[in-house]
Structure 1
């Protein structure tokens, strides 16, 4: 099979987290977005949460105005967020589960149980010319449900794999990689575009990049954390190199 180049989307949420800790104007997440693009990012991701704990409405407006690469808006499936997306018109909207008490997005959408809410939201966004992605668990039946809902893209949740890798649980790592490979292959066979993300690091990205059906990775928290020590541009370049090295194994 022909293996496409692997895109990198950089999530800048946690630059805004640092800014909001003091309630000021810096560090500026839009500046971080520009730096990431110059260092090799193919797109920028930002999650506008209902509680606005990091990215804010004005951040999204500035990103939309200033970026010359695709903007991926992560969002909950609520009337407020759908309305904002329809007004903003980002390149893409990734629908994610959202709980107020969570520290970060925990697991994938329940698209099998939540189809009555998701179907009209997907239709509205697609009709506005916004590419819709669903953040989901890597399961074959979930790929089938996403296809049935009419979503063109799924983003596979890699968090469980990354947790297993961090714990050095080789059996669990193998199990999770097989789940991801199987879901990616099945989703692609249905015509879905396959993305992946959550918790990926320099050490864990290689095996994910080697899955040939995956077209895009979205990575944020780790890159912003590493930027403290090595600078954001170098962190993005290092991740890009690790992704490219992993991709070679898919060819």
Structure 2
């Protein structure tokens, strides 16, 4: 089945809103794995408004599944991942003041930059993924960066899905097929939820992993974390 990596940033956001350690981010990382998630995702930003760099260091020893660290490859971020050595680093083109990820890499104009960063990470044995829009030219150039995977930025799919799911999924099927044919593995993430995830997974059956945070943590307020993770996992079963 497609793997589910749970992004726990929103748990850290709630903790930071009051100070102290409630909710406990480390316990959350332990629990999402215990409840069936295939991995834990964190996205430390420069202002540390949710996951802090200190959190990442503390989370790493308790990971029994996989740790995926997302972020813009600033010198500070690269130093972090070299020290922590997660299983996967997902490179995103976020400016420092971004509320959340809102676009993929321009792999044409940033080709040499990404090649250098990815080459550096590979020396440390870290699997790399780069956040991209479902644009054929972008996908073709993504393969030239020597990344192991791409992560499809799925906000446009989620936005259009309620109106026309076939139109919503079409560019993602095309992009994923191009990526697969070029030897890339495919991840996906952003605004995937209980309503649109199953269709996405069915139409791109070779997808390796989805990273879900905001919707999943929001659903957990109603269903509880364990039940919610199981609901998402059920949608990722391959027929």
Secondary structure of 1:214's counterpart equals: coil
For the Cα contact (< 8 Å) 2:112–2:145, is it kept in 1? Answer: no
1:28-71 Cα distance to aligned partner (Å, 9 max, x none): 12211211111211111000111111001121011111111110
Q: Structure 1 CA distance, aligned partners of 2:82 and 2:191?
A: 29
Q: Structure 2 CA distance, aligned partners of 1:43 and 1:192?
A: 20
Per the alignment, residue 94 of structure 1 pairs with 90
For the Cα contact (< 8 Å) 2:45–2:96, is it kept in 1? Answer: no
Per the alignment, residue 45 of structure 1 pairs with 41
Q: CA deviation at 1:101?
A: 3.3
For the Cα contact (< 8 Å) 1:33–1:44, is it kept in 2? Answer: yes
Secondary structure of 1:154's counterpart equals: strand
Q: Structure 2 CA distance, aligned partners of 1:55 and 1:43?
A: 16
Q: Structure 2 CA distance, aligned partners of 1:228 and 1:110?
A: 36
Alignment counterpart, residue 220 of structure 1, candidates 213, 226, 232: 213
Q: Structure 2 CA distance, aligned partners of 1:216 and 1:148?
A: 22
1:138-197 Cα distance to aligned partner (Å, 9 max, x none): 1221221111010011010111110112xx321xx3223011101111101111011111
Counting matched residue pairs gives 238
For the Cα contact (< 8 Å) 1:185–1:213, is it kept in 2? Answer: no
Alignment counterpart, residue 238 of structure 1, candidates 231, 236, 239: 231
Per the alignment, residue 134 of structure 1 pairs with 130
Alignment counterpart, residue 191 of structure 1, candidates 170, 175, 183: 183
Q: Structure 1 CA distance, aligned partners of 2:4 and 2:45?
A: 22
Per the alignment, residue 114 of structure 2 pairs with 118
Secondary structure of 2:46's counterpart equals: coil
Give the gaps of 5 or more residues in structure 2: none
For the Cα contact (< 8 Å) 1:77–1:118, is it kept in 2? Answer: no
For the Cα contact (< 8 Å) 1:134–1:153, is it kept in 2? Answer: yes
For the Cα contact (< 8 Å) 1:19–1:25, is it kept in 2? Answer: yes
Q: CA deviation at 1:98?
A: 1.3
Check if 1:204 corresponds to 2:196.
yes
Give the gaps of 5 or more residues in structure 1: none
For the Cα contact (< 8 Å) 1:32–1:232, is it kept in 2? Answer: no
Larger deviation, residues 136-145 vs 126-135:
136-145
For the Cα contact (< 8 Å) 2:32–2:229, is it kept in 1? Answer: yes
Q: CA deviation at 1:99?
A: 2.4
Larger deviation, residues 93-102 vs 233-242:
93-102
